[in-house]
Structures are given as structure tokens and as C-alpha cells.
Amino acid sequence: MSRLIEKLFGTMPTPPNTLKLQRGDIVRLKSGGPQMTVFDVSSRGFIICEWFEGEKVNRARFYPAA
């Protein structure tokens, strides 16, 4: 499907990583919450983070502005 979209609309440029985050960086949301480890910076500009709640590992993606 993504190849079809690329063929119809062309490729989209990768959003800039303005925060210069890298895998392994420790971050926290502006609104608070637990410290999280940057797992990856996606090609769509999302920051994918992991954190623990007890023994449970959570993973979510966030907009850089968060």
C-alpha cells in the first residue's frame, strides 16, 4: 500500500529531529509522568519511548512537542 501511495504522491520528506533525540536518551513529557527511554525516532517524526510500571514494559509514540 505504501508503495502505491509513494507512486501516486511521491515520497514525503523525513521531518527534522529538531530535539536531536537519539536512541537511549532519557526523556519526560512536559505534562509530567515517568522517565522514559527513547526507543526510536520514527521516519514520520514520532518519538517512540519505553518505560516501566513495576515489571511491565510500556511503549508508546509521542509528538516531539509533548
14 has a pLDDT exceeding 80: no
Check residue 2 and give its pLDDT. 62
In whole angstroms, what is the distance from residue 2 CA to residue 15 CA? 17
In whole angstroms, what is the distance from residue 48 CA to residue 9 CA? 26
pTM above 0.75, yes or no: no
Query: Which structural domain range is residue 55 located in?
Result: 14-62
Domain-embedded: residue 6: no
In whole angstroms, what is the distance from residue 56 CA to residue 33 CA? 16
Check residue 38 and give its pLDDT. 95
Domain-embedded: residue 42: yes
13 has a pLDDT exceeding 70: no
Domain-embedded: residue 22: yes
Domain-embedded: residue 4: no
Domain-embedded: residue 7: no
Our count of domains for the chain comes to 1
Check residue 32 and give its pLDDT. 92
